[in-house]
Amino acid sequence: MNHDKILEIVKEHYPEALIADGFNSAIVGYTNEGKLVYRVAKMIDILMTRDEMSEEDAMEYIDYNVLGAYVGEMTPIYIYTE
């Protein structure tokens, strides 16, 4: 299932789910509670391409602004994959 389909399902069935703006293509799934799951490496790639950040800057941005943010029960889950 691709990220657009996953997002469509989550929006329909879990309208309270939180979405990490600008990172839709990093979505890899969702939990049974409706939390979106994002792949961190893809988020870093997005920042490097879209915002022309260095890898180090993108990693720092994700670490500080995304991974460190708790915005309630429906905060997305961020995973590392090989």
3 vs 76: CA distance, rounded Å: 14
Do you know the residue count of the chain?
82
Give yes or no for residue 82 having a pLDDT over 90: no
Q: What is the pTM of this model?
A: 0.94
Angle at 15 between CA 18 and CA 24, to 5 degrees: 45
Q: Which stretches of the chain are assigned E, i.e. beta strand?
A: 27-30, 36-39, 77-79
d(C-alpha 16, C-alpha 14), whole Å: 5
Q: What is the pLDDT of residues 11-33, one digit of tens each?
A: 999 999 999 999 999 999 999 99
Instruction: Compute the mean pLDDT over every residue in the chain, rounded to the nearest whole number.
Output: 96
Contact status, residue 26 vs residue 46, Cβ threshold 8 Å: yes
